[in-house]
Amino acid sequence: MPATPDAHTTVLAFDYGTRNIGVAFGQTITGTASELPSLKARDGIPDWGQIEALLKEWTPDALLVGLPLNMDDSDSELAQRAKKFGNRLHGRFGSKVIFWDERLSTREAKEEARRRGHKGHYKSDPVDSIAARLILESYFDELATSD
């Protein structure tokens, strides 16, 4: 169960990956999220300058990092790397970081991208940022039902 944020909390969400990191922005007052362009990563390491620019532009109150847990709730290898990424976000920028279960979000994001007409092989493939938006929306849905 997430900690209840302030009524006007803004959140920047990340769908961590080793080649791409999806990004979305949203706010608790409306419970809505929007996709932002995904970030390139080299073996899971982002351009920290790009992340710093996002933080300056959007000034989020919290950062949400999706955790791709296994179906038995254990950490996958990628979940361990996502935790490391979140811990680095906190260490570098001092931001509040929330980890959030993102199981099956990539599958749902791929289905949404196909419905939009994307084939999954374009440079502009939006799957990672769609996944970040879906993760953030699931977080907002949980907040709304826990009141």
The tens digit of pLDDT for each residue in 14-46 reads 999 999 999 999 999 888 999 999 999 999 999
pLDDT value of residue 125? 54
Could you give the dihedral angle defined by the CA atoms of residues 125, 127, 128 and 129, in that order, rounded to the nearest 10 degrees?
90
Please tell me the CATH code under which domain 10-145 is placed: 3.30.420.140
pLDDT value of residue 37? 92
pLDDT value of residue 73? 85
Percent of the chain with pLDDT over 70: 80
- CA distances in angstroms from 108 to 21, 102, 103, listed in the order given: 16, 11, 10
pTM over 0.85: no
pLDDT value of residue 123? 46
Question: Hey, what are 84's tokens?
Answer: 């490391």
- Domain borders along the chain are 10-145
Walk along the chain (147 residues) in steps of 10 and give the mean pLDDT of each run.
57 93 93 92 95 96 91 88 96 95 68 63 64 90 80
